[in-house]
Every structure is written in C-alpha cells, then in structure tokens.
Structure 1
Amino acid sequence: MGKSVKELGVEDFVNAGLTVGEANELYGVLRDILSLSPPQPSHIWRHLVTLRALKPSFPHSLHQLLYYSVYHSAFQPQHPSLPLYCFPSLEHSKRSNLGRLMETHGPNLLGPSYKDPITSFPLFHNSTGHFFSRNFRFPLLNLQTAF
C-alpha cells in the first residue's frame, strides 16, 4: 500500500509531475491542513477542495496520489464507500454538457424539485433511467443530429 498523507513530501509531488515551486506551495498548504484537528480523511479532502489546492492543470498522477494518500486507511473491505474523486464547483457543473442539459430541461422534467445540476443530479439520474423513452430525445436535440 502507498504512503499516508502525513508521509508525503515535496519529492513525492515532484515525482507526480509538479514543478519544485508548485510542490513546495502544495506541501505548505497540506501541512497547514494537517495541523488542524481532527485530521480525519474527509476533513483533509474537504480542505484540499475548499482551498482549491488541487488545480485541474496538475497531472492526474498528483490528484490520484493525494486521493489515495488521504484515504490510505479507508481502503479496507469494510469501508462502505469513498467520496467522489472530483468536486466540481456549481459554476463549472453548470457549464458542463450534462449541466447545460439539466439547466435547460431539469425544471420541466423535475418541476419544483429541480435546484441545480449538483443538488438535483441524483433525482435527474433516477428520472432519466425510469423515463428513458421520454428523455431520449434531449441529447439528440442538443446534439442537433439528423438522421
């Protein structure tokens, strides 16, 4: 098994693809987060996300290193589930393909239950699965595909 998040250092971040400057900055942020109490995996990950310490431009290997290091002790068979790997902001989710589709058609499909793409995703997912024939046309209309 890999290192825990407390064992990571600048060299690990550089080996994952960051420049020395980026690695030092991330290491400082991570040390600040780890100094908070309690250092539970969910709190560490939430702080990393809230502080936007992980940038989309960083290599995937770095994101993966931090994710698996933060949840080092969580990869046990009895652990019920792990949190999402990526937490898009509401603004980013609204600009995604699915977010635009949900913003356009979500209020009509879900009525007053529709809030935004992140909050309403489980309801939207369930609805589209149960009413496939009704919803199949939306991607086709948005893709403007002609047959």
Structure 2
Amino acid sequence: MVKGIMPKHHFILWMALQMRPNTVDRLLKWGIRVPEECVLCSSTAMETHSHLYFDCQYSRAIWQKPLIWMGCNRQIGSWLNEVEWVSKQVRHKKVIGDILGTLFSATTYHVWIERKNQRFQQSSRTSEERLKEIACQIFILAQ
C-alpha cells in the first residue's frame, strides 16, 4: 500500500483494484433493479467499473486536475491504464510517486463516496468541491 494513504481509503482502493465495487452492472446481474445511468455525469451510459473509473467526465475531472497541478499533463486512460501508470510512478519516483499514489487513492475513494451519496442519499457535491476535499487531505498528510 502507498505510504500516506488515509486509512478510510484503503478498503475502497483495494475493492477498486480488484474491480469489486457494486456498480450498476454488477447489481443488475444479482437481480437488483436500480437506474442504470451514471449519476455522476448524468449521461445515459450504464454505470460500470470502467465508466465510473475514468470514462465518466466527473471522475476524469477529479483525477485530471490534480495531475495538471503537478505538471503531469497527460491523457487519462482506462482504469487499467491509470493503475499501471500510477504503479510505475510509485515505484520509480519517490516523493512524486508517493503523492500520485495518495492522489489516486483519494480520487478512487471520493468518486465512490460521491457515487454512493448521489445514488442512495440524494446528496451531491461538484467535482470542484471534491477536489477541495482531496487537496485538504493531501495538505493534512503533508504536515
């Protein structure tokens, strides 16, 4: 696990890395009927793991903006591409790798929590509000 990841992020990141979050496509396979559309980007796209991470414009924005702040102006790829890229950064770049690993964990966590809040609790935050929370968490960890 990446140094500096907040404990509450561990489980969500582990689930996402295993591609185990109960997204709509999984719920439908179990016979649980829920609206299929992505609640984050309000598109007609079915909420799947790959859509949630990072085909969705909402999650893509939450992941891309901190990368730009860090000077990593790159095209965001699929979940597997991003996991591979972050893994390489964590292994080969000490400080930057730790920050990127923590950002990736925080992004994964906040996307999942926002999805849960919007789908089941009818509360929502903008991607900018989520980015502020992530920035605050990173700042606190850096202290």
**Larger RCO: Structure 1 or Structure 2 (Cα < 8 Å, ≥ 6 residues apart)?**
2
TM superposition score normalised by structure 2 = 0.32
Q: Give the structure with higher Rg (CA).
A: 1
